[in-house]
Amino acid sequence: MLEQINHPNDIKKIERKDYRLLAKEIRKFLLMNVSRTGGHLASNLGAVELTMALHTVLDFPKDQLVFDVGHQSYVHKILTGRKDGFASLRQFHGMSGFPKPTESDCDAFHSGHSSTSIGVALGLAQARDLKGTDETIVAVLGDGALSGGMAYEALNNMARLREEKRKLIVILNDNKMSISENVGGMSGYLNKVRSKKEYVDFKGNVEKSLMQIPVVGEPIAKGLKRSKDSIKQLFVPGMMFEDMGITYIGPIDGHNTPLLIDTFERAKQLDEPIIIHVVTKKGKGYRYAEKEPARFHGVGPFSVRTGKNLPAQSSGGPSYTDIFADTVTELAKKDETITAVTAAMPEGTGLERFKEQFPERFFDVGIAEQHAIAFCAGMAAKGLKPAAAVYSTFLQRAYDQILHDAAIGRLTMLIGVDRSGLVGADGETHQGIFDVSYLSSIPNVTVMAPVNGRELKEMVTYALTKGEGPMAVKYARGTASTLFEDELTPILRGKGSILRQGSEIALLPLGNLMEEGAAVCENLVKEGFKPTLVNPRFVKPLDEELICSLMKNHRLIVTMEEGVLNGGFGQQVTQILANHDYKGRVRNIGIDDRFVEHGSVKQLRKMLGIDSDSMTEKIKAWIGDKG
């Protein structure tokens, strides 16, 4: 069956009687491929029938499907002629794990961050209607994505389509899961709605539905005939959406392909904004993923037979994430004012261990990074010491909350900027390469960049015992470096440290680029140089005294960062040197003004010229003659 699917719309050739078989084959294909490459499995297993039904009803590339986050778009990719791409899924120069218009004209919009789909789809629909075309536009968002504020901003704005008699379809794929168990009032509301009997109805059939309810149905229907809304209020789920002016249909079984097709076909005919609530099972069809949907949300290569992850390539030491979460949890034992906050990523940030120890001081606010920071500001204003862990890329959303809610009031909180630097396989939407730029611009904010696990521990301890104001500590995805751990000196605000004293050339590798920077130092020693190696430790405030001390005996000062150069660490160091009339050469190595695609961190560093060999060659050219 799946062999017949090689181009967009090929699924229309499949007969209804064969949907189950096709779904089975798609699940097998997902398992065979993702178990080898790693990727987002559970969400895609849960979206098989939903995506098949959408592809049966829509015409690609004319009609447009906007995925929220986009991690659940693998089936869409299979059905639009990209089966072969799965051999290189999320690999360098291979197929992306998210929708990408540059990869296929069947991908309506790129995505990777949550809760954006309705807003984007509304924009596409607005353009369609102003241009007078007639394509069908559909947003697919999960129940987790519906905990993100942007979804409500868009729903609020979408409501006007009813009186304008304009089409937009939103599919709410409700599997009760974000990455972990979904949280919050909306999740509770959906639980209540899900508990109602399956309800597929369109305007005007409410009484008919009521009459079917034995005994109480008829009198209620008669008694309430006067006000349809009252009837709906009592029996029709999704009243919240209806009250907003959005037609709600559901909840319906998200694994019943014929029912989904019929529902979508009818929805396509309506000239109004519609939300169709489908109920699915995350990880459906693979028992290990059904049992542990959080573990199989984003998974490395694993054995299909046992469900066990294949041996990881990492050195096996603790990750920076482990060290951050363990340190916060340890400190919380002695300080009851410490709280922990995550935005729907308790496992990814490691804070699930804080929750186990201090459930009353742990808060998962849903996919709501802006709220997470404002929430921390409120707690800090009352003397608590919140520690929020947010991935660098997702923290971009909370720039104003850090500035407006936390920094102006110099409120004391720790922000663990996890996944800082290149993350690799998740690509452009997830690389944590902007945090130095966006955080450094905010007054009263402290920005720290540890070079190894022990320094991260010391910086977290400094922040939660001595620090003041909003303090960000940035750390990479993966195993913590142990380089220079035995040369650690106490953390003093705004003070860096000199790891190797030399002359001529000064190297300033920031944070997790120290491993590459130290290798450059060794390469240069082999070339007859004796470079000075500096651990900057603080991006904000910079150690101006240390930087100026390099001016005397060094004719080349090189900064290195795994972040964009614009507004980065290097530019700030250069500014200080310029202010003090440094006469030598300053060079900043980092990421030019660009986004960075998916691949391994090693491959991406090489491509960007921030690996040790590339940096060594650059420095040898800049210094010219030997030492």
Ligand X SMILES: CC(=O)[C@@H](O)[C@H](O)COP(=O)(O)O
Q: Which amino acid, 446? A: T
The answer to whether 146 touches 177, Cβ cutoff 8 Å, is: no
Rounded Cα distance between 105 and 8, Å, is 10
- Interacting residue with ligand X among 8, 46, 254, 348 (CB under 6 A): 348
**CB closer to ligand X out of 476 and 619:** 476
Q: Which token pair is 336?
A: 């009851």
How many residues in the shown chain lie near Mg ion by CB under 5 A?
A: 5
**218 has catalytic annotation:** no
Q: ∠ CA(185), CA(187), CA(192), 5° rounding?
A: 95
How many residues in the shown chain lie near ligand X by CB under 6 A?
A: 10
399 known ligand binder: no
Q: Omega before 443 cis (within 30°)?
A: no
Contacts of residue 579, Cβ cutoff 8 Å, sequence gap at least 6: none
Size (the chain), residues: 627
453-492 residues in contact with ligand X (CB under 6 A) are 477
Q: ∠ CA(374), CA(380), CA(381), 5° rounding?
A: 90
| Residue tagged 């980065």 (tokens) | 568
**CB closer to ligand X out of 71 and 385:** 71
How many residues in the shown chain lie near ligand TPP by CB under 6 A?
A: 24
Rg, C-alpha atoms of the chain: 27
Taking the CB of residue 373, how many other CB atoms lie within 10 A of it?
A: 31
Torsion of CA 281, 284, 286, 287, to 10 degrees: 40
**369 has catalytic annotation:** yes
Residue 33 CB, shortest distance to Mg ion, in Å, is 22
Given the DSSP bridges, would you call strands 338-342 and 385-391 parallel, antiparallel or unpaired?
parallel
Does the protein bind ligand X through residue 568 (CB under 6 A)? Answer: no
Q: Which amino acid, 332? A: A
Considering only CA atoms, which of 211, 249, 202, 280 is closest in space to residue 44? Answer: 280
Rounded Cα distance between 494 and 273, Å, is 54
Does the protein bind ligand X through residue 598 (CB under 6 A)? Answer: no
**515 has catalytic annotation:** no
Residue 302 CB, shortest distance to ligand X, in Å, is 14
What 3-state class would DSSP assign to 49? helix
Pick one of Mg ion, ligand X, ligand TPP, none as the site partner of residue 344 (Cβ within 5 to 8 A by kind): ligand TPP
Contact stretch for ligand TPP (CB under 6 A) within 342-350, 471-479, 557-565, 618-626? 342-350
> What is the x/- site pattern for Mg ion, positions 134-173, by CB under 5 A?
--------xxx-----------------------------
**CB closer to ligand X out of 348 and 531:** 348
Pick one of ligand TPP, ligand X, Mg ion, none as the site partner of residue 184 (Cβ within 5 to 8 A by kind): none
Does the protein bind ligand TPP through residue 367 (CB under 6 A)? Answer: yes
Considering only CA atoms, which of 67, 30, 110 is closest in space to residue 598? Answer: 110
Pick one of ligand X, Mg ion, ligand TPP, none as the site partner of residue 446 (Cβ within 5 to 8 A by kind): none
- Interacting residue with ligand TPP among 66, 120, 145, 231 (CB under 6 A): 145
Q: Which residues bind ligand X (CB under 6 A)?
A: 40, 69, 71, 297-298, 348, 419, 423, 426, 477
For the annotated binding site, the residues are: 71, 112-114, 143-145, 175, 286, 369
Binding-site residue ranges for Mg(2+): 143, 175
Binding-site members for thiamine diphosphate are 71, 112-114, 144-145, 175, 286, 369
Contacts with Mg ion by CB under 5 A lie at 142-144, 175, 177
